[in-house]
Chains A and B, each alone.
Chain A
């Protein structure tokens, strides 16, 4: 099996949404700020439902937030 990981553009998307804070995003999607930090650092792959909630919070399709790539591939 190849070594792929769930990567994300949450940091970039937060920046483009008026520098939305991690706390604000966490409140919007109903998780703790630590979970948002873990997702951003690719230390936690969210459930499908949470992934959709994050995409909805930014009003973008899911694939614009998350990608499933190998370590050497760009996110």
Chain B
């Protein structure tokens, strides 16, 4: 596995954890007292900050761990340079494209909640849900492209 593949895997795991946390909290709140704006805003803030924070910390830790593993494997103290080449950039772009498509569909579905007389809190909750899902599917698409191969176009 390359540095980029490890990095994408870390991102995937962190988004899965955040999505799990979000769904558990959202559903328990929905079943207990309905959607309370004060509590749900706090939940959204936690999810967004955790999403950014976990990714940054995850990437730093991945770099440190891979550097240590590389040093042990090669038995040298030469600084390891994680190259991101044109193939990585192409796969990254394709992953982002998949994420955007999933997110756009998600926003459309979230808007539909108004058609079923749901309050705005439900729509925004769905948008948060689909933004996390879009990141997860984008990461899965990247991992798939690393395994199956990638072409321009």
* Interface residues, chain A, with chain B CB atoms under 8 Å away: 30-32, 34-35, 38, 41-47, 50
Cβ A43 vs Cβ B83 within 8 A: no
How many of chain B's residues touch chain A, expressed as a range? 10 to 19
Q: Which residues of A contact B61 (CB under 8 A)?
A: none
* Interface residues, chain B, with chain A CB atoms under 8 Å away: 2-5, 83, 85-88, 146, 148-152
Label chain A's interface by main secondary structure.
loop
Q: Which residues of A contact B88 (CB under 8 A)?
A: 32, 35
Q: How far is the CA of A31 from the CA of B87 in the complex (A)?
A: 9
Cβ B2 vs Cβ A34 within 8 A: yes
Cβ A32 vs Cβ B83 within 8 A: yes
A-B contact pairs, 19 of them (CB 8 A): A30-B83, A30-B85, A31-B83, A31-B85, A31-B87, A32-B3, A32-B4, A32-B88, A34-B2, A35-B85, A35-B87, A35-B88, A38-B87, A38-B149, A41-B149, A44-B149, A44-B150, A47-B86, A50-B86
Q: Which residues of B contact A31 (CB under 8 A)?
A: 83, 85-87
Distance in Å from the Cβ of A15 to the closest Cβ of chain B?
23
